[in-house]
Structure 1
Amino acid sequence: MLEKLFQVINRIERLNMVSMHQMRRSVNNLTKPLGSLGRLEEIAVRLAGITGSVQPSVDKKAIVVMCGDHGVVQEGVSAYPQEVTGLMMANFIRRSAAVNVLAQQAGAEVQVIDVGTLLTDLPEGVVRRKVRPGTANMAQGPAMTKQEAVAAIHVGMDTAYELADKGIEVIGLGEMGIGNTTPSSAMTAVFTNHPVEQITGRGTGIDDEALAAKTKVIERAIEVNQPDPGDAVDVLAKVGGLEIAGLAGVIMGAAARRVPVVIDGVITGAAALAACRIEPRCRDYLFASHLSVEPAHRIVLDELGLKPLLHLDMRLGEGTGAALALPVIESAVQLVSRMATFEDLGIPSPAPEEDEFSLAVDGLK
């Protein structure tokens, strides 16, 4: 199974600096003061680097909602019962969830994938890729085996490849799994070496007493399993989740196909941390949609070196933040392709030629 993982990793290339240089020149020639479109300019430059094209397109969009259940829910870490995972999957298929509303507005399709829920009778329309029915209770032992974690990563890689083959040009990440802020917080603590109490949040809205208990559960899970921060697959297997591993696979598969990825909140952020620990070049293909109010999310984004596009005090998940960010990313492309240039007006560009390449490199930051 590892052979396929390595094959995908070996296909992940660095950003195309020539395309970025050309895009920065195009951006600087638009009829506006230099840098006045701020981060929209950075987005356009990085999209050029990702796709290798000075005319990138993000017209065809998809949001992948990976779904899995978590044995650690037995420890009382969530305000909602585990059955809600399956109920929400049906809600996604009915196109009645928040992510569906926002995805439709952004012109994105929503793909719902069962990589590890407890549900046996799946709603029609859910893609069945179940590795196992839920993880084990990580407070008592490993959430899954390494082989299962790799299998879930493969599900994500295959999904990204299938979407790329369909012509999808940008992928947003979403998830559903009651209790999944617990493994994502545990993973963040392991990867960043931050104290668990600084990372653990309220998730679905637990009270102070439950938050204190959740923090202790995460500390116990890390103590019991001793995940190796230098081995991302080990971390996923011991204190992660099946949908989190699946999302990490989507990131790696998309990067291998030069497709940009928009991460959502703290759960997809934990998946991004895992993917970037497996292959650091994945980071260049990521856009951070927003900053969640979950305390781990800021730590995750700082670790990845990503700046969120939006600040809306959200903590829903599902891919809602990614859906909201897709039009912002599309706006960057539209501005470059449709705005007039100084040449169109018959006047010289204000951009000094000797600075253009360094400005292109700035788009990586």
Structure 2
Amino acid sequence: MSVDGWNTVLVLGGIRSGKSEFAESLVTDAPVVRYVATAPEGDPEDTEWATRLAAHRARRPGSWTTEETTEDPRRLADVLESAEPNEMLLVDDLGGWVTVLLDPDHQPADDVATIAELAEAIRGCAARVVLVSPEVGLSLVPTTPLGRAFTDALGAANRAVADACDAVVLVVAGQPVWLKPAATAIEQAAPATTSTATATAAVVASPADAEPTPEVQLPDVLTHTPPATPPQEAGNPWAAPTMALPMVATGLVIQPGMELPMPNEYEGPQAVDRLATLDVPGAGLGVLDRVVGFAAATQGTSIPAAWDSVRVLLLHGDHAGGASAGTVAGESARRAAQARAGQGALARLAAESGASLQVVDTPASAPIEDQPALTPDQVESALRYGWRLAEQAADAGVQLLVLGACGAGTEAAAAAVLAATAGAEPPAVLGRVITDSGEIDDAAWMIRCAAVRDALHRTRRSSRGAKDILAELGGGDVAVATGVLLGATARRVPVLLDGPVGLAAGMVSRDLAGQARHWCLLADHGRHPAVRLAADVLGLTPLLDLRLDLGEGANALVALPLLRSVLALSAGLPAHPSLDGGDDTDPGADEPESTDPSYADPDLTEPDFVEPDSTEPDFVEPEPAGPGPASTRADEQPASGWRAG
């Protein structure tokens, strides 16, 4: 279920607002769902109403069971009271229930008492319940007594049920707005104005109310900040919060089809066109003009600045089973500890680039060939955790995120995600296994291929939704990376990808928010087949072809100084003098004034003006003796002595 930590949720919405579809999306993860139908069949002659009911029935999966409560309105309370703790109930909707309640066949009846009984049943229900109800409080007061009775009874029922439920959401034009509890109104904090030390401390100590569920402990540790990092002001001018997103007390509700911001579609092309006007001796920046266009679009200016504040997120999480074949036990933990201590290739490159390095521990993943890598609750927690990491970086003034990973079995998990999302064959996207001595381990590679093959066979009938792929195949590191991409997109922070984990997260993020890939930049594919395929699908053209293999994150940091230099050059160079107002100036304006008394400026004197002391005769333009320059007479020669042509 997408709303973790709640037993009862009330979904309100107007006519055709999408409330039923949203409520159904909340229970898609439940293995067993009891659909409680409350609407009466209606007039047999009303074909339009029958069509609506048929559409509702057609949307329900075959695994759901349906229970009718149209005969007696009190039966709904009995169904809720008898529900078991492991069940999931979807009640759709209370408008039909109130219609039955007001039916003359059930009168006289105490409507108030029946509504109170329903509220008490919801409070004492052991199962998880999602209730749908029309919101009629925003419409005009009906003109008929029966219409007023219906709206009054439904309004009373909605108030009583909302008070009894743990959470309430209003769906407007398909967009959910969470109304309850009060803690859901979590402020989208503006960029902090504290010092660098305060901003760093905020990253080191995670807020208590944002901790993930106890089942998944995801510590947030800023592990290494190079001393050479120049002081940065907290907050990005182009990374302020962009929108109010549905929140619950346990965190953000991340769901498919989120509308996140896009880069500026006008500034990028303008910045690239501006490059042609710069005072450069050569032909220009070549393919690196894409860096300028990308930075301009993500910063919202045609003269983008070089990224001064950069943070590297190194995701550490192992995958069990055949996915990790050929790796040395404890090697990934050693790499993570090395980065925390400020040692190793990644930490040294981060120090050289003045970038901060944050090692993030992600949930360990189960063997995908035998069982899901994560539980649905772990996926939700990992997504929110990655989102929070991106938000903390934006609030601390980070202008660019570099995403890397170190963990046993990460390449096989990424290959499985690509196979599920892009239809690729596992052997085609699974890189060769290289031992510590530099040898190719074909036996380990075949074990990894078999693990991915078995995982795909195991999930052949499973849903291919984003969260399902993360739970079944992706694992903790890919789930956290996906959350980072989504959170960075929401805060307009670009991400420099490096390696199969980041690209696999980009593939998964398409179903959650298609805008995320437009905030990603790929420096080098490193000859990795999974990276090359995912980049092709996502439309990310690698900027370089260095074929580096220093580990995820390190390859990007090698290219970072070059990318910064390109941005600094494009922002600092002036326009070519020939394009800098040359046509609007007087060519002789800078020439010294003549001291010759015979000199006369033809622009300031009349043709017959003569200096008083001048002994030179007046110069008079002779009148043409013939038809002028257009003459075709053969004996005519240019006056200057140069031959024409």
TM category, shorter: 0.7 to 0.9
* Aligned counterpart in structure 2 of residue 336 of structure 1, from 551, 555, 570: 570
What's 2:387 paired with? 157
Aligned pairs (5 A) from 1:43-58 = 43-57=291-305, 58=307
Change over 3 Å in CA distance of 1:277–1:228 after alignment to 2: farther
Amino acid at match of 2:316: C
Contact kept in structure 2, 1:8 and 1:256, CA below 8 Å: no
Identity value in percent? 28
Contact kept in structure 2, 1:29 and 1:343, CA below 8 Å: no
What's 1:246 paired with? 480
What's 1:61 paired with? 310
- 2:448 corresponds to 1:201: no
Amino acid at match of 1:318: E
- Residue range with higher mean Cα deviation, 18-27 or 80-89: 18-27
Hey, what's the Cα distance between the residues in 1 that align with 2:354 and 2:461?
Answer: 40
Q: What's the secondary structure of 2:481's corresponding residue?
A: helix
Tell me how far 1:108 sits from its aligned partner.
Answer: 1.1
Tell me how far 1:174 sits from its aligned partner.
Answer: 0.8
* Aligned counterpart in structure 1 of residue 371 of structure 2, from 141, 154, 174: 141
Deviations 1:50-85 (Å, cap 9, x if unpaired)?
A: 12123433111111001112122xx37432234222
Structure 2 portions without partners, runs of 5+: 4-245, 247-251, 584-645
Larger RCO, structures 1/2 (Cα 8 Å, 6+ apart)? 1
Contact kept in structure 2, 1:181 and 1:203, CA below 8 Å: no
What's 1:115 paired with? 362
* RMSD, matched Cα: 2.5
Change over 3 Å in CA distance of 1:296–1:8 after alignment to 2: closer
- Residue range with higher mean Cα deviation, 147-156 or 335-344: 335-344
Aligned pairs (5 A) from 1:165-176 = 165-176=395-406
Deviations 1:106-149 (Å, cap 9, x if unpaired)?
A: 22111111122xxxxxxxxxxxxxxxxx1111110111112211
- 2:320 corresponds to 1:71: yes
- 2:346 corresponds to 1:104: no
Structure 1 portions without partners, runs of 5+: 117-133, 350-365
Q: What's the secondary structure of 1:113's corresponding residue?
A: strand
Hey, what's the Cα distance between the residues in 1 that align with 2:461 and 2:481?
Answer: 19
Hey, what's the Cα distance between the residues in 2 that align with 1:103 and 1:344?
Answer: 41
Hey, what's the Cα distance between the residues in 2 that align with 1:135 and 1:227?
Answer: 21
Q: What's the secondary structure of 1:15's corresponding residue?
A: coil
What's 1:131 paired with? none
Tell me how far 1:90 sits from its aligned partner.
Answer: 1.0
Amino acid at match of 1:192: A
Contact kept in structure 1, 2:257 and 2:511, CA below 8 Å: no
Tell me how far 1:200 sits from its aligned partner.
Answer: 1.6
Amino acid at match of 2:382: A
What's 1:180 paired with? 410
Hey, what's the Cα distance between the residues in 1 that align with 2:290 and 2:575?
Answer: 18
Hey, what's the Cα distance between the residues in 2 that align with 1:237 and 1:198?
Answer: 23
Contact kept in structure 2, 1:85 and 1:177, CA below 8 Å: yes
Q: Which runs of 4+ in 1 moved over 6 A?
A: none
Deviations 1:7-47 (Å, cap 9, x if unpaired)?
A: 89746212212322442343232124897312222211221
Q: What's the secondary structure of 1:248's corresponding residue?
A: helix
What's 1:309 paired with? 543
* Aligned counterpart in structure 2 of residue 326 of structure 1, from 560, 576, 579: 560
Tell me how far 1:241 sits from its aligned partner.
Answer: 1.9
Contact kept in structure 1, 2:418 and 2:504, CA below 8 Å: yes
Contact kept in structure 2, 1:190 and 1:227, CA below 8 Å: no
Q: Please give the TM-score of this superposition, normalised by the length of structure 1.
A: 0.83
Aligned length: 330
What's 1:94 paired with? 341
What's 1:39 paired with? 287
Between structures 1 and 2, the one with greater helix share: 1
Hey, what's the Cα distance between the residues in 2 that align with 1:25 and 1:295?
Answer: 34
What's 1:293 paired with? 527
Contact kept in structure 2, 1:50 and 1:258, CA below 8 Å: yes
- Determine which structure has more spread, i.e. the larger CA radius of gyration: 2
Contact kept in structure 2, 1:260 and 1:287, CA below 8 Å: yes
Hey, what's the Cα distance between the residues in 2 that align with 1:227 and 1:106?
Answer: 47
Tell me how far 1:212 sits from its aligned partner.
Answer: 1.7
Contact kept in structure 2, 1:29 and 1:342, CA below 8 Å: yes
Hey, what's the Cα distance between the residues in 2 that align with 1:34 and 1:12?
Answer: 40
- Residue range with higher mean Cα deviation, 288-297 or 14-23: 14-23
Tell me how far 1:332 sits from its aligned partner.
Answer: 2.5
Q: What's the secondary structure of 2:408's corresponding residue?
A: coil
* Aligned counterpart in structure 1 of residue 332 of structure 2, from 69, 76, 85: 85
Contact kept in structure 2, 1:141 and 1:225, CA below 8 Å: no
Hey, what's the Cα distance between the residues in 1 that align with 2:569 and 2:461?
Answer: 46
What's 1:120 paired with? none
Hey, what's the Cα distance between the residues in 2 that align with 1:249 and 1:301?
Answer: 19
